[in-house]
Structure formats: structure tokens, C-alpha cells
Amino acid sequence: MKAINETISFIKEQYNTENFIPLHVPHFGGNEKKYLLETIDSTFVSSVGAYVDQFEMMMQNITGTKKAVAVVNGTAAIQVSLRLIGVKAGDEVLTQALTFVATANAIAYQNATPVFLDVDLDTMGLSPDAVALFLQEFGDLREDGCYNKKTGKRISACLPMHTFGFPVHLDELIEICNSWKIPVLEDAAESLGSKYKGKPTGSFGKLSAFSFNGNKIVTCGGGGAIVTNDSELGEKGKYLTTTAKIPHLYEYVHDEMGYNFRMPNLNAALACAQLEQLDDFLTNKRRLATEYKSFFASNGIKFRTETPNTEANYWLMCVELENKIERDLFLKSTNENSVMTRPIWQLMYRLPMYVDCQRDRQINAEFLEERIVNIPSSVR
């Protein structure tokens, strides 16, 4: 209990307040108001406008990819990316159960089924070893792809999520998936600014999806992005998210089912102003993470840090408690003292809509589920 009380005092000192301290709040200290007013004055407030184009170009530069597509949110980005990568109704997608529900929901939106595999303890993201073991037991490699021996369904994608901005072991995962003809789609919703072996997350998969929700490191209220190095797929993504409308001066012709998933210019204006400050956000978060690491080390609590050869954006920082009893006490004490903390997500196969999905033993995921707690991580 002493360590928890000291934690509460330390966090209040960091944020210099005795008032309620949220988990993660946006910081608007740049050109947000200026760009929003410019957008209003231009009258281009919907999905056509200069800031949409600028946002897409900025995302290409930040992620080092050839094409970015602005969309309404991260879930939509994953859903459309799954379609682009070839996921069809009745297919299966390998992913992790330790994730936010949007990852699994996006798969279900494509009328596909998630297969939940374990995570690594160090990254908290999809484990290459777990994927390899699953495919050795259930994989059936055919000319047209990989199939699940147990269900007979095609495994048409692998969807790892970079948990809290900590990159998964991408090289190993992609090598395994390539050997089984399974394309990789990165759920990079939480990892804007993170790097794996010097390269940005989101630049490794066939496609990748980002989120700009209100609690993300960069926000525009809502918003998402698809990025890819396959220019043809990127153009297809832009087309599908723009209601699959064939360009024409005045006619409305739609030649396949598309989505009205376009990011409004108003949101894009906000996003551009936020992206201009990304480097400062990352610097401030790394400074806070360093202070947390030193404090928790002296109090016998494990603070989660980045793995070798990676740079995490430290979007949501977290501690690992000894067991579920300690975790629950930590959660209760901090929240009752106006310091917002929260547990990691409930594993997806515990949710009623995914309870029947195939999964492995989930040893690491269940260990983490009982111990990980997010602590205040706002840019200061």
C-alpha cells in the first residue's frame, strides 16, 4: 500500500495538480485553431479540401510509405484494409486476443472470423512463435493460399496490433507469414511515431491502419488512415472509401459497393496541426517514461519499457503488478484518489460475440490480463 500511495503522490507531482488526472488527454498547442478557421472560411468542411490532401502527404512522409488514405476512424481503416488485402466472407484472420475490440470487430465486419493467438510477454503483441506453432498444427498450404485444417477455411491475413505503441517482432512474424502465403496487415492504431529497427511501424505490412481518436498521441477528434507501399492498393482504398464513385464532372456512377468513410476536411485540418507537433509529443512522452521508469524501479514495481531495436511512442504507459489482487488494489486506490488508471482490455474470447472463436492456450495473454495497468500518459 505504501508503494501505491507514493505512486499517487508522484503522479500528482508530475502533473502539478491535486485535481482529477485523466489517463490521456489531447494537447492543442499549435496551429489547430488557425487551420480550423481557414477551413471554415474556405467552406470546404467536408471530405474534399486542401487539408485532406496535406494530411495524406504528411502521413506518407511520417510512415515512409508511398500512399496514405484519410478515413473516418481507425476501425474503418482496418476494415477496408482487410478487404484490400483479400479477406472475404467466410475467411479467417490470425490476430491477438489481447487487443482493443476494434481489431476483432473489423474482421467481423468483413464477415470473416478471428483466430486468437498468444502474445509475447515483452511486446504484449502477437507472438511469431505462437503463429508458427498454430500453422504447424493447423496450416494447410495450397497453391491459392493457406487453409485451416480444423475448419477448412482460408486464412487470408494476419493482423498484429502494436499494443500501447510497443512494436511486435515484425521481422520474424512477416517471415513466418510469408512462408505460409499469409499477408500481414499492421494494426498500428496505437503506434504512430514508434519504430522497429529504425523504420516506422506501419511501413512493414502489406497495408497498415492508424487511429486519430481523441485519446491517441495525435488526434483530430476522430479519424484514421490507411498506409501502404503498394500504390495500386492505396488508390483502390481511396476509391472504396469514397463510395466507389467513378470520377466524372457531374455524373454519379458507382461500379461496386464502397464506403462513405471519408475524413472531413475539418478533421484533417486539426490532424495536420497535430502532426506538426508529433516530434515534440514523442520527446515529452519519452521524458515522462524515463521519470516513471526511475520512480517505479525504486518502488519495486515493473514499468513497461521498449524492447531492443525498437523505439516506442509510449502512447499509454503501463505497469505490471505482481498478481490480480495487487492489480485490483492498485486500480481501486488510484481511481479513488483522482488518478485515473485502467486495466488492460478483457481478452477478446471472453466477449460473447467471440467466445466460440478458435484460440491457442493464451498463457502470456492471460498472465498480462491479470497484471497490466495503464497510468496517466498525457503529453505535458
Distance CA 326, CA 299 (A): 14
Within 10 A of 366 (CB to CB), how many other CB atoms are there?
Answer: 15
- Nearest CA to 327 out of 368, 364, 286 is that of 368
Residue 185 burial (CB count, 10 A)? 26
296: amino acid identity, one letter: F
pTM above 0.95, yes or no: yes
Do strands 207-211 and 185-187 pair parallel, antiparallel, or not at all (unpaired)? parallel
Q: Which cell is 343 given?
A: 486495466
CATH C-level class of 2-26+278-349+358-375: alpha beta
pLDDT value of residue 380:
73
Domain locations in the chain as residue ranges: 2-26+278-349+358-375, 32-276
SS3 150: coil
Q: How confident is the model at residue 1 (pLDDT cuts 50, 70, 90)?
A: low
Mean pLDDT along residues 355-366: 98
Asked whether residue 342 carries a pLDDT value surpassing 80, the answer given is yes
- The arithmetic mean of pLDDT across residues 364-369, rounded, is 98
Say which CATH architecture domain 32-276 belongs to. Answer: 3-Layer(aba) Sandwich (3.40)
From first CA to last CA, the distance across the chain in angstroms is 27
pLDDT at 40: 96
Q: CA angle, 345 as apex, 340 and 351 as ends, to 5°?
A: 135
For 316-340, write each residue's pLDDT tens digit: 999 999 999 999 999 999 999 999 9
Handedness of CA 218, 219, 220, 224 (dihedral sign): positive
- The whole-number average pLDDT for the span 173-183 is 98
Instruction: Cell numbers for 198, please give them.
Output: 529504425
Name the percent of the chain lying above pLDDT 90.
97
In which residue are the cell numbers 520527446 written? 283
What pLDDT, in 10s, does the model give residues 122-174?
A: 999 999 999 999 999 999 999 999 999 999 999 999 999 999 999 999 999 99
Q: Show the cell assigned to 254.
A: 458507382
- Residue 356 phi/psi, 5-degree rounding, is -95, 5
**Residue 379: what pLDDT?**
86
